[in-house]
Amino acid sequence: MKNLFSIEQLSKNEINEILQIASEYDLNFVSDEFRHKKLVLAFFETSTRTKLSFEIAAKNLGVQVIDFMPELSSIQKGESLVETLRTLEAMGVDVAVVRHREEGTAKMLSTQLDMSILNAGDGVNQHPSQALLDALTLKEVFGELEDFKITICGDILHSRVARSNIELLSKFNVDVSLCAPKELLDNNFSSLNYHDNIDIAVQESDVVMCLRIQKERMEQMEVPNTSEYFEKYGFKKKHFEMNKDILLMHPGPVNYGVDIENGLQNHDRCLINSQVKNGVLTRMAILKKILNYIGK
């Protein structure tokens, strides 16, 4: 695997292979196997989890990490994104992890450059490493990616996490439902089950994955009233009582009091901390596959 743009490009076998490699790592793993490799973090949108877990993952594998800061770069003098990464390539950088608000950025870059490109989120389109780390988290609980029901709840329309997760879970035998205000659904997923409110979703599911309302992508659209949204779609303490087996996921960042009731972060059926930990392990596995492909 030279690049990672989307879940669509991965076969079931490739996904299983990445998850298997990830499951064999732990957070204390340290190696200098790839000490001659250089990776740039090129984030044109904000990030905590994705950026820093890619940095930790790369360093665990011995890779040299360069943090590119767009606001301090010659991008501010008009240099293009392609020219910027071409410049880094000429300095010996092997891999770029790119987050950008424009859909298709990672794929476009791969057609212009020799370096490996990893998509760390392109607009509302894809966030493949997030779906892979979520799959690892689900696999740890259920053993296999099959025979359980998950509801993705919240702003589906603007969510690259939802899109990537639906694509990944649909390759396996997982029952995926959606729960959202009608205006935040995506017509492309009209074949999936729909729950009109989170109470029903919790009763009908094994897992609820809540999402943040992505105000920054709403443009002319009216942002939902947050207290009304929380009432109908927010995950609350009572939901852990309503279904004694229900598991809670969220890709983060969480808006507590809107997506999830405050105080649930450390509940034993809240998987958010596992998702964050698995973010490092999964990104180590993705990098391992890419670095093996391009050679030491």
Judged by the rule CB under 6 A, the positions of this chain that interact with ligand CP are 47-51, 130, 251-253
Residue 59 Cβ vs ligand CP, minimum distance, rounded to whole Å: 17
By beta-carbon proximity to ligand CP, the closer residue of 84 and 159 is: 159
> Closer to ligand CP at the Cβ: 38 or 160?
160
CB of 150 to ligand CP, least distance (A): 17
Q: Which residues contact 209 (CB under 8 A, 6 or more apart)?
A: 134, 150, 151, 152, 153, 165, 249, 250, 251
Which residue, 19 or 161, has its beta carbon nearer to ligand CP? Answer: 161
Provide the b/e sequence for 15-40 (b: ≥16 CB within 10 Å): bbebbebbeebeeeeeeeebeebbbb
Least Å distance, CB 259 to ligand CP, is 12
Q: Sort strands 64-68 and 38-43 into parallel, antiparallel or unpaired.
A: parallel
Report the run of H or E that residue 240 belongs to, with start and end: helix 237-242
Q: Tell me the CB-side half-sphere exposure of residue 54, using CA atoms within 13 A.
A: 28
What angle is formed at CA 143 by the lines to CA 139 and CA 144, rounded to 5 degrees? Answer: 70
Closest to ligand CP by CB, 25 vs 43, is 43
Tokens of 234: 């927010």
Residue type, 253: P
The least CB distance from residue 47 to ligand CP, in Å, is 3
Q: Least distance (Å) from ligand CP to the CB of residue 96?
A: 16
Residue 50 or 110 with smaller CB distance to ligand CP: 50
Residue with smaller CB distance to ligand CP, 23 or 47: 47
CA 49 to chain centre: 9
Q: What's the min distance (Å) between Cβ of 131 and ligand CP? A: 11
d(CA 47, CA 69): 12
